[in-house]
Amino acid sequence: MKLGFRSVGLTLAATVISASVSFASTLPEGAFRGNSPLVNAKQEKAKENDFMSMLIKKDEKNSDSYYVILAEYTVQDKEVLKFIKLGKIGKLTPKSNELALVNWVPRMYIYRANKVSDLEFDLKPLMVTASGDIDVNSEAVASHLKLNTANSIEKATLTRLNEKNEVAEVVTFNPQRTLRGNSTWEGYVPGKYFGTTNSTGDDYFKKTVNTDISTDGIVNFNRDTVSGKFKIEEKLPKMFTLSAADNVNKGKETVEGKIAVFVDIVNWKSFGLERFTTEELLIINPNDASDVGFYYERHYNIKDEEKAKAARAKK
């Protein structure tokens, strides 16, 4: 579905006004969740494509444009949350997968959203160019976000088109399921990280480190899939690319040609608990939404570092 002009019979005066005054409606910045049993009070059993999170930030150079990260999560064949009745928590016996909040498969997309009318925005995928910059993929089919109310995501509809410009899916952000999330889109966050493919979320609490991001823009990976030093560069505000910094590395295809962002997903800061905050480095493949690099930030003190070194020495 391509968008055209709403009317070809505009008067000259109306044309002059619309050209000189920007649209009044804006997209709200922040994180928004919708279309998910995860936010259903009854905690229904999860279904396919059951959780969506949309992170929106303004384009600093264009007031009518935004950048959007869209994350989908499929919960696989298990209850979304495993709780036990009050009063029996002390009798909990851990079992396989019993403590996992959710077993998920992520898909992530990153777009530039351009306003096309007062309540309508076209979402074009971003890409890494041959020169290593981040730009809009002008050849890709745009998704279409239509607001129901100005400056609000509630009851907004996201229409996705396939390569033939046919409607493939229409997603509605229902009011009872459209919650403002705590997640925040962060700038550059140097530190120690743990890259994982664990789909249960359990690795959030581990202290293992296999990735180091320095203050001078170097990422040192030490994983089975990718290792060596890589240069990380901010190509657009809060959007980064990675490129090999030396010849002693492997798995560079794992990170090159992709878009890296730092997101505080849980965001304890919003509860006034900054000491618990943990950022995540997400490496998004613009050509394959299911290819997501997921890295948890790790906070180390001297004793933790000493214990880690001693544990490695015993191996």
pLDDT for 136:
96
- Give residue-wise pLDDT tens across range 219-239: 999 999 999 999 999 999 999
Q: Contact at 8 Å (CB) between 173 and 155?
A: yes
Q: Contact at 8 Å (CB) between 36 and 52?
A: yes
- Report the candidate in 107, 94, 114, 104 with the shortest Cα–Cα distance to residue 37: 104
Strand partners, 74: 105
On the question of pLDDT at 250 being above 50, the answer is yes
Run of H or E residues at 245 = none
pLDDT for 298:
87
Distance CA 267, CA 283 (A): 19
pLDDT for 275:
62
Tell me the average pLDDT of the chain. Answer: 75
On the question of pLDDT at 63 being above 70, the answer is yes
- Report the candidate in 62, 128, 296, 111 with the shortest Cα–Cα distance to residue 200: 296
pLDDT for 89:
34
DSSP letter, residue 252:
G
**Residue 175 three-state SS:** helix
DSSP letter, residue 47:
-
Distance CA 132, CA 178 (A): 36
Which residue in this structure is represented by tokens 């109310």? 149
DSSP letter, residue 250:
B
- Give residue-wise pLDDT tens across range 252-281: 999 999 999 999 887 777 666 666 678 899
Distance CA 39, CA 31 (A): 14
Run of H or E residues at 192 = strand 191-196
Distance CA 57, CA 111 (A): 11
Give the residue with greater pLDDT, 63 vs 167: 63
**Residue 249 three-state SS:** coil
Of 84-93, 142-151, 164-173, give the range with the top mean pLDDT.
142-151
- Give residue-wise pLDDT tens across range 5-50: 222 222 222 222 233 334 456 888 988 876 544 444 344 444 544 6
Q: Contact at 8 Å (CB) between 301 and 191?
A: no
Distance CA 116, CA 146 (A): 10
Distance CA 124, CA 65 (A): 11
pLDDT for 253:
92
Distance CA 178, CA 176 (A): 6
| DSSP per-residue codes, 91-146 | G----TTTT-S--EEEEEEEEEEEEEETTEEEEEEEEE-TTS-EEE-TTSPPEEEE
pLDDT for 101:
43
Distance CA 126, CA 3 (A): 20
**Residue 82 three-state SS:** coil
Distance CA 235, CA 51 (A): 29
Distance CA 54, CA 290 (A): 16
